[in-house]
A and B are shown apart, each in its own frame.
Chain A
């Protein structure tokens, strides 16, 4: 197990290194220097700025400096907002995004599993068809379209929820629902098919033969095993919710890291784009690693890659 974690950690670091390197060089290749704006700066000031940010030094020194500062959890300055660092943006914005993401995650996982279980237990009945049609529709509607739809119908037309901004729990309901729709539909389908697979196993027949109640069979024998694929889906799910939040936060005017990121894209604020991308990369890769380790711990049947075959 330890060997497995070590191996995974190594690959994660490699991927991360690739992300940082790619981001660094892509941003250097980006058209326009960091200070090119509408107003032409006097050459002395530009020279001073370049010196201050170390931009006059050769690229490899800048690159290694960047690697070192990332390792020290320093994502650098923002070139468009004087006096603000990317760390400030992350500290201000990420808690908001995290709260929103967690709410969406709970909705997606909770409702998705519930729907999947209801569908599987009523296999080929109307509940099953209803749930699956609902799931296909959920997968077909992108989160940003769902967001506009919810905003228009529930907030603007019916006035049940606030239209935008981030002030109370009520403000978070619509964005979280919009973020959760597609993953929820995915989880519902995943849970249903894995429930059906588990239900066809011999040990379920044994449990029935022992005379256990339907409730006990479902809760103690089926769901526990059927949820394994859902656990492995949590990694991609967190990526989906995180990237989904870019647009959702913009639509609902939420001051999270996602909307900072979108703003820095439209301002072409390259250092912020770079810093936030690397930060997201770290968050997502760690989430994937955690999910993989958790999966290995939960399911004793799979021998983790890294152990010998046939053990």
Chain B
């Protein structure tokens, strides 16, 4: 074995203060999430798409001199041209204006449904989870039984009976739509309520409401956000589905669903009348789905595959 002279050795001086030094700036949870989200190319693409869609929903109708409801019977069923960018429909209405006006209605339905689901779901699920025991048992049984009712059947039934319109549609969608949110919130609250910080807050005399809204709900924001993002596309889908059954928003209001279901009738001769609203429906659902998936992965990297 080779002899190594002693001079070659040097004491490795350990500077104890170095070990304690934080070399990277500390990241808050949401900063961390945002970094992970931005690394996800597909999710970022969805986000950009979403921003463009929302931008067009706000400013699109202003970009054309035509409005969504003016008939022009001399120019019916025109193909896309410099004059009418997306063509015209059977009453000569400009499809470009109608598409972006419809974007407002479709997006509004989606976001409103998601917000109402959030409101009821968080209250119901949060209360059931926090109380636990019998209250929880009864509340979740009620939710289970409602949950078993086929969603679209119930929505159709309500739309048949009630007066058609935006409010009715949102009501029909949220009447059992909140259950999913309630289940997720309850599951989270059940996990969190036994943590030490809740005990600490209780010891300090914090009220139940304060613990719920200051400590528990903020910590379940992640799953809530993901569920909301995924509720929007499903509401937009339901709106279009109802329009196909003739239960959509009444004329002359335009939503993507009513435009697409009108377009289907004329598919063979005037395909652009279906093409534009249908593409917007697909792009929006795609964007929300991808952003939702991206958020889920970013919030909980362990789940990522």
Stretch at the interface among B124-132, B150-158, B204-212: B150-158
Whether A19 and B149, one on each chain, are in contact in the complex, defined by CB atoms closer than 8 angstroms, is yes
Are A15 and B246 neighbours in the complex by a CB distance under 8 Å? no
Please tell me if the beta carbons of B305 and A196 are within 8 angstroms of each other in the complex. yes
Whether A142 contacts B241 in the complex (CB less than 8 A), given A29-B161, A281-B153, comes out as: yes
Shortest beta-carbon distance from B263 to chain A in Å: 8
Instruction: Say whether B145 contacts A280, CB under 8 Å.
Output: no
Q: Which of B32-40, B186-194, B279-287 contacts A (4 or more CB under 8 A)?
A: B279-287
Select one of B146, B150, B156, B267 contacting A152, CB under 8 A.
B267
B245 interface residue, CB < 8 Å from A? yes
Interface pair B281/A142, CB less than 8 Å apart: yes
Closest CB in chain A relative to B154 CB, distance in Å:
8
Q: Which of A35-43, A51-59, A86-94, A143-151 contacts its partner?
A: A143-151
Find the B residue at minimum CB distance from A133. B42
Q: Report whether B152 and A26 are in contact in the complex, using a CB–CB cutoff of 8 Å.
A: no
Cβ of A243 within 8 Å of any chain B Cβ, yes or no, is: yes
**Are B145 and A239 within 8 A (Cβ)?**
no
B160 touches A30 (CB 8 A): yes
Q: Which of A61-69, A205-213, A217-225, A246-254 contacts B (4 or more CB under 8 A)?
A: A246-254
Instruction: Check if A140 is an interface residue, CB within 8 A of chain B.
Output: yes
Decide if A18 touches B245 in the complex (CB within 8 Å): no
Residues 110-163 (chain A) with a chain B CB within 8 angstroms: 123, 136-137, 139-142, 144-145, 148-149, 151-152, 156
Q: Which of chain A's residues have a CB closer than 8 A to the CB of B107?
A: none
**Which of the residues B153, B264, B285 comes within 8 Å of A243, measured between beta carbons?**
B153
Let me know if B289 and A140 touch, CB within 8 A.
yes
Chain B residues with CB under 8 A of A149: 278
A152 to B260, CA, bound (A): 14
CB <8 Å contact, A140 and B150? no
Q: Identify the closest chain A residue to B268 (Cβ).
A: A156
B108 at the binding interface (Cβ < 8 Å)? no
A-B contact pairs, 30 of them (CB 8 A): A12-B148, A15-B149, A18-B146, A19-B149, A22-B149, A22-B157, A30-B160, A31-B161, A123-B305, A136-B290, A136-B293, A137-B286, A140-B233, A142-B237, A142-B241, A142-B285, A144-B241, A144-B244, A145-B240, A145-B278, A148-B274, A149-B278, A192-B305, A196-B305, A250-B244, A265-B160, A266-B245, A281-B150, A281-B153, A288-B148
